[in-house]
Amino acid sequence: MRTGLGVVLLLAALPACLGSPSQVPGPARDYIEANPKGRVWATLSDGSKVVLENPRIISDTVFAVSGGTPVAVPADQLTDVSAKQVSRARTGVLVLGLGMTVGAILTIKHSLSPAPVDSTQYYECRYTPLSCD
């Protein structure tokens, strides 16, 4: 059960590693061909911006879903494409935060455990009763 909870918490934290949409390197067409799943924010040649989900390029046309509606956009009309990419800073902060949380939990657990019992007195009195008062 603890393992399942840990997996759920990690999956819930994964979106925190993604930064805001940033411009993808290289031509838009190359990025969409290499990453057909997901969501991209595209700027068209007329200046309008559109969100494309699961874009696919067939011939010279980009097919995707935008706002729940299927759309087809000529690939040469895409002037700029942005996508969410893994942020090293956010991922580092997340890992550091998780490590500190685990450390704090272990410290609290250790501080709440009972102190070890000193058994030297018991040993001396049992086996050498003359040394005990």
Show me where the domains of the chain are located: 20-110
What are the tokens at 20? 């805001």
Q: Report how far residue 119's alpha carbon sits from residue 133's, in angstroms, rounded to the nearest whole number.
A: 16
Tokens found for residue 51? 């969100």
pLDDT of res. 16: 60
Domain 20-110, CATH class in plain words: mainly beta
Per-residue pLDDT, 57 = 86
Residue 126 confidence (pLDDT)? 63
The pLDDT score that the predictor gives to residue 17 is: 59
Taking 70 as the pLDDT cut, the residues of the chain under it are 1-22, 85-87, 117-133
Task: For CA atoms 103, 104, 109, 114, give the dihedral sign.
Answer: positive
Strand partners, 126: none
DSSP state of 18: B
